[in-house]
Amino acid sequence: MSRFMIKVLMVDVDGVLINGRPWDGKHWSTDLETDLGLSPSLFHERFFTPYWDKIVTGKLDILSALKPVLSDLSPYLTPEEFIAYWFKNDARLNTELIESLEFYRSAGVRIYLATNQEHLRAEYITQTLKLGKLVDAVYYSAALGVKKLDHAFFEKVTNLSKLRPEEIILIDDTLANIIAAKECGWHAIHWTKESDLASELAQF
């Protein structure tokens, strides 16, 4: 691979910058049944399976989708209460990576978020968790109308950022997204729990 100056990092959120519950890193729904009386498997079957693709690409409002599901499974739980629980329990920040990204940004590297999110969580991540202050822009699936791993996601982000594909390095924990990004001309790093940003970027 030819060497080039690192200009842009496109960083995924879930599995990279955010990893589960703030206090132990477990999945946000680990105690869903104990805390809210909802079976995680049943909720996934009734909500995520039929609706999530439409929600995360901005074609369906999450509150509208949640209302009938919760009305059936937990009539006393409002969509707003459920979302507050979910977001609060899915907010463990990777502070080590954040510090590394802040260092690279101070050195002139542009940092962006490139993530599959619906509108409310995108706002929570950027405003409440303050990740918006870490980056130069945020590109997320509900706003773009398409999600990773669709090639259209990477093509839209390339056009909106006014960058050339070969200038971009994606950092993502999903191998299929890495493959798709490379097929669109991006460089990419497959992020794991053992990854170190400086070591990963050394190849470039």
Residues 176 and 127 in one domain: yes
pLDDT digits (tens, 9 = 90+) for 125-146: 999 999 999 999 999 999 999 9
Q: Would 37 be classed as within a structural domain?
A: yes
Q: Would 1 be classed as within a structural domain?
A: no
Q: Global pTM?
A: 0.94
The pair of three-digit structure tokens given for residue 119, joined into one six-digit string: 């509108």
The pair of three-digit structure tokens given for residue 50, joined into one six-digit string: 């039929």
Q: Would 26 be classed as within a structural domain?
A: no
Residues 113 and 196 in one domain: yes
φ, ψ at 32 (rounded to 5°): -60, -40
Q: What is the pLDDT of residue 4?
A: 55
The residue range of the domain holding 45 is 32-88
Residues 118 and 180 in one domain: yes
Q: How many domains does the chain have?
A: 2
Phi-psi map region of 195: left, alpha, beta (phi>0 left; psi -120 to 50 alpha): beta
The pair of three-digit structure tokens given for residue 88, joined into one six-digit string: 């609060």
Residues 169 and 195 in one domain: yes
pLDDT digits (tens, 9 = 90+) for 148-160: 999 999 999 999 9
The pair of three-digit structure tokens given for residue 173, joined into one six-digit string: 């924990």
